[in-house]
Amino acid sequence: MAQLLALCGYHSVGVTVPTGLMRDRLEALCDRFRDSGLEIFLRADLTCSRREELLKLLRRFRPAFDLIGVRCTNHSLALVAARDRRVDLIFFDHGKRNVWLDDSIANVSNASLEVNLRLLLECQDLLSLTRLRKEIAIAHRHNMDIVLSSGGTSAYTVRAPIQLMAIGEILGFTRQDALRSVSTIPLRIVTKNSHRRSSNYIEEGVTTLAEGQ
Amino acid sequence: MSRRYIYIKVYCAGTVTEEQFSQTLSASIVKYFGEIGLSQIAPKIIRYDSSKSSAVVAFAKDYAAELHAALAFITHVNESDTLMLPLKTSGTIRGLSNS
């Protein structure tokens, strides 16, 4: 899969790993991707149904991962996840009919909306595509960043960046926006997070400088 | 109508014949873009190499995004998991010869 990703033209990938994976297995996974010439960022996808549960998971896992995504299972959880600065990406299950991105979520969101192609392919129906187009229009209206990802779980579910861009274009992105969604926006998120996780970082806008700087 | 040529690599758990490739590609385009979309994209298989699982397809220049999206939406051929990866696009067939 790592070789296939390199063949597709990726330079950096965010890999979702189970939160309880042992450190040595994580290292082996990272080495495999690095051997293929890819920069790897570890990502955790948090799934829960209550606010307290989400905050507890964020406290526990935010420092350990480069990227944190939250699967929004209900509207109140989506609001909390969107507002919390520790959350990088929020995504919605297109097969579920009880929760979707609306103006109230997009209006307060600090996180980016992730359009996961795997979830879209799992329920290839007109309703999912229509709702996704609406969500993208709402996100654009509120200047919310959108990240296009393949969400691949096997070699057969990987998609090339140009394919993700093309899907973005048919879902209502301009070509430039689609390009940003697979390149600069994800890169900006991981760069910001690596800065936050550095020892010099104190809080938003405050960084310690070494003597003489 | 200006044409472009795309080099596609097919990864499939089973084998994919030229006919299956052609039918799957057309079906995907018709499903998401309709018959009119198919006539606008106008895909034509120039070459299919079943030993290398690769194909060269000609299409209308202005509909590259539609073709890429249709390829991305293909998940199965003959009930086997499939990935169709566009590796290179060129204005001439010769431009793809190094692929």
Predicted pLDDT at B17: 92
Q: How confident is the model at residue A211 (pLDDT cuts 50, 70, 90)?
A: low
Given an 8 Å threshold on Cβ–Cβ distance, is B11 in contact with A4? yes
- Which residues from B are below 8 Å from A160, CB to CB? 72, 85-87
Which domains are seen in chain A, by residue range? Answer: 43-192 (3.20.20.140)
Tell the CATH topology of B3-90.
Alpha-Beta Plaits (3.30.70)
Rounded Cα distance, A50 and A68, in Å: 17
Rounded Cα distance, A150 and A4, in Å: 13
Residue A167, pLDDT above cutoff 70: yes
Q: How confident is the model at residue A151 (pLDDT cuts 50, 70, 90)?
A: confident
**CB-CB contact of A59 with A30 (8 Å):** no
Task: Out of B72, B81, B82, name the one closest to residue A167 (CB).
Answer: B72
- Which residues from B are below 8 Å from A158, CB to CB? 83
- Which residues from B are below 8 Å from A8, CB to CB? 85
Q: What is the pLDDT of residues B38-97, one digit of tens each?
A: 999 999 999 999 888 999 999 999 999 999 999 999 998 988 899 999 999 999 998 887
Rounded Cα distance, A89 and A145, in Å: 9
Task: Out of B73, B81, B86, name the one closest to residue A156 (CB).
Answer: B81
Q: How confident is the model at residue A25 (pLDDT cuts 50, 70, 90)?
A: confident
Report the predicted TM-score, pTM, of the whole model to 2 decimal places. Answer: 0.89
Q: Where are the domains of chain B?
A: 3-90
Percentage helix, strand, coil, to 5, in chain B? 40, 35, 25
Angle, in degrees to the nearest 10, between helices A175-182 and A184-196: 40
Given an 8 Å threshold on Cβ–Cβ distance, is B69 in contact with A163? yes
- Which residues from B are below 8 Å from A117, CB to CB? 72
pLDDT greater at residue A67 or residue A121: A67
